[in-house]
Amino acid sequence: MLNGLTVTWIFNPPFDLEHKQLLLSAYMRDAQKIFNSNKLSPYFEDLEIKIKNLECYNSTKAIMKRDCKELISADKELVDYISKLPDDHKDRIAVSDIVGWSLDQLYQLRKHAVSVWNHIEGSLAMSFIGEKPKNVKNGYLFIRYPGSYIVETYKFKSNADGSVTTKFVSFDENKDDTYMDTMARYPGINPEYSAYIAVEPTKPFNTIDAVMPVVRQVLKSKVISTIILPPGPSDTYMYMME
């Protein structure tokens, strides 16, 4: 929950457009501050969830099933109350007005968020170090900024639900462009499905709130999958973000 906007915020009385405008404006103000500072977390993913739930209401007069499972009984009652009202009921009309106005605002905010995401993604280079496993499931990320000998080391792994998690391990000194000195500190990975990956931002972004959301998405969509990635030069597959 960010800025007090719960999953069921549009269903909470009062069903008043001006009241909800104030709530959403506070949320958008703080989200803009995050995006303006070239960060994505915690608002990028939350923004997308809020948009999807409002779109879901427009089509089904409810919210996404995934979020419904997490609701307490009192919140479920609020959703059921609105969902079962006739179209011409004043509360149903008010909620529809709130949803329409909110989506217009959030779509504009998402444009800004996506532009920040693209800026960060366009400033990253990721590459496998050494041989590329046939099917990557886990491994280590070495994040190094320009001109630095310090590498931020993270473990990553794929989960049964399709998500990717990352965990900070250590700050390591690395003076070798091949990362061999850093890799030597983390031996014993299974070469069939574990990988060492270098991440080299060209600009000084916040690692946790800017770089990692993009890296996790790249791992999920382009690295960890059931498809076989095409071979790159020699024994190394390079993923370069243009």
Yes or no: say if 148 and 170 are a contact pair by the CB < 8 Å rule.
no
CA gyration radius, the chain: 22
- Tell the burial category of 98 from Cβ atoms under 10 Å away from its Cβ (0-12, 13-18, 19+): buried
Structure-token pair, residue 189: 């990975």
Domain boundaries, the chain: 9-121, 125-240
Instruction: Label residue 1 by pLDDT band (50, 70, 90).
Output: low
Structure-token pair, residue 15: 């069903």
- Spatial strand order of the sheet with 238-240 comes to 164-173, 150-158, 138-143, 194-201, 124-128, 238-240
Tell me what pLDDT residue 225 has.
Answer: 60
209-241 per-position pLDDT tens digit: 999 999 999 999 989 864 433 433 333 323 332
- b/e string for 172-204 if b means 16 or more Cβ within 10 A? bebeeeebeebbeebeeeeeeebbbbbbebeee
Q: Are strands 238-240 and 124-128 parallel, antiparallel or unpaired?
A: antiparallel
Query: For residues 80 and 78, what is the distance between their CA atoms, to the nearest angstrom?
Result: 5
Whether residue 32 has pLDDT greater than 70: yes
Least confident of 25-29, 67-71, 92-96, 179-183: 67-71
For the segment 36-46, the average pLDDT, to the nearest whole number, is: 96
The candidate with the shortest Cα–Cα distance to 180, out of 155, 151, 200, 209, is 151
Tell me what pLDDT residue 194 has.
Answer: 92
The pTM (predicted TM-score) of the whole model is 0.85
Tell me what pLDDT residue 134 has.
Answer: 82
The contacts of residue 125 (CB under 8 Å, 6+ apart) are 198, 199, 200, 202, 240, 241
Tell me what pLDDT residue 111 has.
Answer: 97
